[in-house]
């Protein structure tokens, strides 16, 4: 517990209040201050604009638009935003996505408290951070030129895909992302083509298998 | 055309026709014999008649010898004329000069009637006219069979009429008898039709006729076996369906548990871990509390590993097809259990693998390997996965403690052998286990390939 995050201003985005509490105590114990908290992706942007934290710690899976889209918006609003993404899953697809979208760090939620603080410190120092447990899988996934069809989805398509796989309707997803339903429909069409799935049940199955959603 | 129309006749009519035909040919032979007899009879009759007549004429000629030649014609005609025809012989009297003095009148019996020439020539005997001399006069006696032939002709017609009547009766009677005897065939045909349309409860009565009785017994036996086979199929299908539903529910249950574990337990542990970490940060001055908090952090780490392992078992296989998923799983297993040498041979070959099959293969291998770790105490495991001869085959052999090392039918946590057996049964296969004398344990799972590509191949 020697990490010192003295003076670092952190914003927490996680839908689990007790998890936020734990992280907050941890961060404060290390000298950082939690300047903002939110429990969904939509409000993350506002809270960021209000508080302008040094580091955003954000869960990938949250209600509403979810972490990835929130990340995308945040980066769109402030390309210099330093974001550490957290995930309960340990697949190798979402980390790559998140890092490509502009996140500086990616950490599994199951990591030890020290590792969490180190990750926050790294991201605060504007250095890239990737969970050591995931690093090997991510590297191998990139090297082997994985044939996973999910790789072919664009960032936007992946976000829409996850939402649809969670069982939300096209109109609801359009509402989540402030898109027109026909645009979401086009995304859905492309997703189905790329993943070679016929219906929403198969869509959900692909998502579950990839660890993108829990069944 | 004729043959076609014959074929269209019913069996009864055809057999009756054959019988009637046989009887008709018999009658024809009889008619031939009768004609032959009639011919002989006519011959004898005419022969006898003309001989008697000749003798009588000769006797009369002897009597007339004393009569004066001038008076002779008068006397002779006086005797002959009243006689008319002498027993079917025409009589003519000629003078010495050859002048016809007298000719007997034509026959009065069936006068004016004739028979066809062919019939007459068939029966008519051939006799030369007989001549008797009385003084200068010459008597010519000509046998005439025409009346007998007419009689024979009439008899023939009468007999033909009776014969036709008889044949008609025979036809009708045989047809009715056949109708009655073959009536069970109609029932047999109806029963076959009913069975053919899917009503397998149809049964035939045991007929009195031995052959038909055997037929009905054979039919009933066949129907019984058919019902048994259908019932077997239905039972198997039902069992299969029940097993498949059980598996589906099991998977659903697993997903539910996985979600609960992930959403609630894992997040809870994360929270506890973070909180414990926060306590660790703040209690450096209080060693007792500090070390407890550290313990909590460590224990939560173990709990997270445990949850992760359970989730790993509960989750459906990862994407990218069976082969990469297997490779990932085997690599992960080998990493976790370095003390056990794993020799895996995976020969799935080209062609699609159905999701259910892929899941089953992964689960079977997973469970089998888990058993090896838990119970076998083995140092080496050989695994074969493939589809030789079209059927899936999973062979897992270890060099451990053998059957005693294997789990009981109701293991504590995993699916155990029974769960594996149920999973394989749901796919229509079977699970065999054996414990060779040399030690170790061998598990062999076989089940048919229901993958889409395979089915298309078979259909094309």
pLDDT above 70 coverage of chain B, percent? 92
* CA gyration radius, chain A: 17
> Position of tokens 């979810």?
A66
- Establish if B362 touches chain A: CB-CB under 8 angstroms: no
Mean pLDDT, residues A144-150 = 62
How many interchain CB pairs under 8 A, A with B?
99
- Establish if A215 touches chain B: CB-CB under 8 angstroms: yes
Where does residue B262 rank: exposed (0-12), middle (13-18), buried (19+ CB within 10 A)?
buried
Is residue B414 scored above 80 in pLDDT? Answer: no
d(CA B255, CA B252): 5
Cβ contact, residue pair B271, A16, below 8 Å:
yes
A interface mutation test: which of B319, B331, B362 has the most A CBs within 10 A? Answer: B319
Question: Distance, in angstroms, between B255 CA and closest chain A CA?
Answer: 6
Three-state DSSP at A11 gives strand
The pLDDT score that the predictor gives to residue B451 is: 63
The pLDDT score that the predictor gives to residue A215 is: 46
Question: Please, what is the average pLDDT of chain A?
Answer: 83
Residues 23-62 of A with CB under 8 A from B: 23, 25-26, 28-30
pLDDT digits (tens, 9 = 90+) for B373-390: 877 788 889 999 888 877
Tokens of B86: 């002498």
Mean pLDDT, residues B425-445 = 84
According to DSSP, residue A142 is labeled H
- Establish if A196 touches chain B: CB-CB under 8 angstroms: no
**Residue A213 in contact with residue A164, Cβ under 8 Å?**
no
Cβ contact, residue pair A22, B316, below 8 Å:
no
All residues of chain B having their beta carbon less than 8 Å from the beta carbon of residue A116 are 274, 277
Mean pLDDT, residues B261-270 = 82
All residues of chain B having their beta carbon less than 8 Å from the beta carbon of residue A3 are none
Is residue A58 scored above 90 in pLDDT? Answer: yes
Is residue A180 scored above 90 in pLDDT? Answer: no
Strands B89-94 and B137-143 come out as antiparallel
The pLDDT score that the predictor gives to residue B409 is: 44
Is residue B406 scored above 80 in pLDDT? Answer: no
Cα angle for residues A84, B307, B255 (degrees, 5° grid): 95
**Residue B356 in contact with residue B394, Cβ under 8 Å?**
no
Cα angle for residues B82, B83, B85 (degrees, 5° grid): 130
Task: Give the other-Cβ count within 10 Å of B405's Cβ.
Answer: 19
- Positions of E strands within B268-379: 341-347
Mean pLDDT, residues A162-188 = 83
Where does residue B195 rank: exposed (0-12), middle (13-18), buried (19+ CB within 10 A)?
middle
Residue in A closest to B269 by C-alpha: A110
pLDDT digits (tens, 9 = 90+) for B96-136: 888 888 888 888 888 888 888 888 888 888 888 888 888 78
Residues 132-191 of A with CB under 8 A from B: 146-150
The pLDDT score that the predictor gives to residue B28 is: 92
* DSSP one-letter string for B17-32: HHHHHHHHHHHHHHHH
d(CA B327, CA B347): 12
Mean pLDDT, residues A14-40 = 90
Q: How far is CA A168 from CA A68, A151, A165, A211, A213, in A?
A: 16, 22, 7, 18, 13
Question: Which of B255, B274, B318 lies closest to A25 in CB terms?
Answer: B274
All residues of chain B having their beta carbon less than 8 Å from the beta carbon of residue A26 are 274, 277-278, 281
Residues 55-74 of B with CB under 8 A from A: none
Task: Give the other-Cβ count within 10 Å of B33's Cβ.
Answer: 10
- Establish if A114 touches chain B: CB-CB under 8 angstroms: yes
Give the pLDDT band of residue B21 (cuts 50, 70, 90).
Answer: very high
* Greater model confidence, B265 or A90: B265
């Amino acid at each position: 517990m020697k990490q010192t995050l003295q003076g670092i201003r952190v914003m927490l985005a996680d839908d689990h209040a007790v998890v936020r509490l734990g992280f907050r105590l941890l961060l404060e114990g290390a000298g950082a201050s939690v300047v903002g908290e939110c429990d969904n992706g939509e409000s993350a942007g506002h809270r960021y604009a209000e508080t302008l934290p040094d580091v955003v710690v954000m869960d990938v899976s949250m209600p509403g638009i979810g972490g990835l889209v929130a990340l995308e918006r945040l980066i769109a609003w402030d390309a210099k935003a330093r974001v550490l993404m957290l995930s309960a899953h340990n697949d190798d697809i979402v980390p790559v996505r998140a890092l490509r979208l502009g996140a500086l760090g990616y950490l599994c939620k199951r990591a030890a408290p020290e590792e969490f603080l180190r990750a926050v410190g790294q991201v605060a120092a504007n250095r890239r951070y990737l969970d050591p447990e995931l690093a090997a899988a991510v590297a191998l996934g990139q090297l082997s030129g994985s044939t996973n069809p999910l790789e072919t989805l664009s960032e936007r398509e992946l976000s829409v895909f996850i939402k649809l796989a969670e069982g939300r309707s096209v109109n609801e997803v359009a509402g989540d992302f402030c898109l027109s339903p026909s645009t979401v429909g086009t995304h859905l069409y492309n997703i189905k083509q790329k993943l070679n799935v016929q219906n929403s049940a198969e869509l959900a199955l692909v998502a579950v298998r990839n660890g993108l959603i829990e069944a | 055309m004729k043959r076609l129309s014959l074929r269209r006749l019913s069996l009864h009519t055809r057999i009756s026709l054959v019988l009637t035909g046989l009887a008709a040919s018999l009658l024809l032979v009889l008619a031939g014999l009768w004609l032959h007899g009639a011919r002989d009879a006519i011959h004898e009759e005419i022969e006898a008649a003309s001989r008697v007549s000749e003798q009588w004429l000769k006797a009369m000629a002897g009597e007339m010898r004393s009569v004066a030649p001038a008076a002779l014609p008068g006397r002779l005609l006086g005797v002959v004329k009243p006689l008319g025809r002498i027993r079917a012989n025409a009589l003519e009297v000629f003078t010495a000069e050859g002048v016809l003095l007298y000719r007997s009148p034509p026959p009065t019996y069936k006068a004016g009637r004739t028979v066809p020439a062919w019939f007459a020539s068939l029966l008519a005997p051939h006799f030369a006219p007989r001549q008797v001399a009385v003084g200068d006069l010459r008597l010519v006696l000509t046998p005439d069979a025409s009346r007998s032939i007419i009689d024979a002709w009439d008899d023939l017609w009468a007999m033909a009429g009776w014969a036709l009547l008889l044949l008609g009766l025979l036809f009708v009677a045989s047809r009715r008898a056949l109708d009655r005897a073959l009536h069970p065939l109609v029932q047999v045909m109806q029963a076959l039709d009913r069975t053919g349309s899917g009503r397998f409860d149809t049964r035939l009565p045991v007929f009195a006729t031995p052959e038909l009785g055997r037929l009905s017994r054979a039919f009933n036996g066949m129907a019984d076996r058919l019902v048994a086979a259908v019932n077997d199929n239905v039972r198997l299908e039902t069992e299969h369906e029940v097993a498949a539903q059980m598996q589906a529910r099991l998977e659903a249950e697993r997903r539910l548990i996985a979600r609960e574990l992930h959403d609630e337990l894992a997040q809870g542990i994360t929270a506890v871990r973070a909180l414990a970490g926060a306590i660790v940060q703040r209690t450096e001055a209080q060693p007792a509390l500090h070390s407890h908090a550290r313990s909590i952090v460590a224990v939560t780490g173990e709990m997270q590993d445990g949850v992760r392992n359970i989730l790993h078992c509960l989750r459906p296989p990862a994407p990218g097809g069976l082969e990469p998923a297997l490779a990932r799983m085997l690599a992960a297993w080998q990493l976790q259990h370095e003390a056990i040498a794993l020799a895996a041979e995976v020969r799935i070959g080209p062609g699609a693998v159905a999701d259910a099959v892929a899941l089953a293969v992964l689960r079977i291998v997973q469970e089998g390997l888990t058993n090896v770790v838990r119970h076998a105490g083995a140092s080496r495991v050989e695994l074969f996965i493939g589809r030789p001869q079209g059927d899936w085959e999973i062979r897992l052999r270890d060099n451990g403690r053998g059957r005693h090392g294997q789990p009981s039918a109701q293991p504590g946590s995993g699916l155990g052998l029974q769960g594996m057996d149920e999973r394989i049964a749901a796919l229509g296969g079977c699970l065999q286990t054996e414990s060779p004398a040399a030690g170790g344990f061998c598990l062999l799972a076989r089940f048919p390939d229901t993958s889409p590509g395979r089915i298309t191949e078979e259909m094309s």
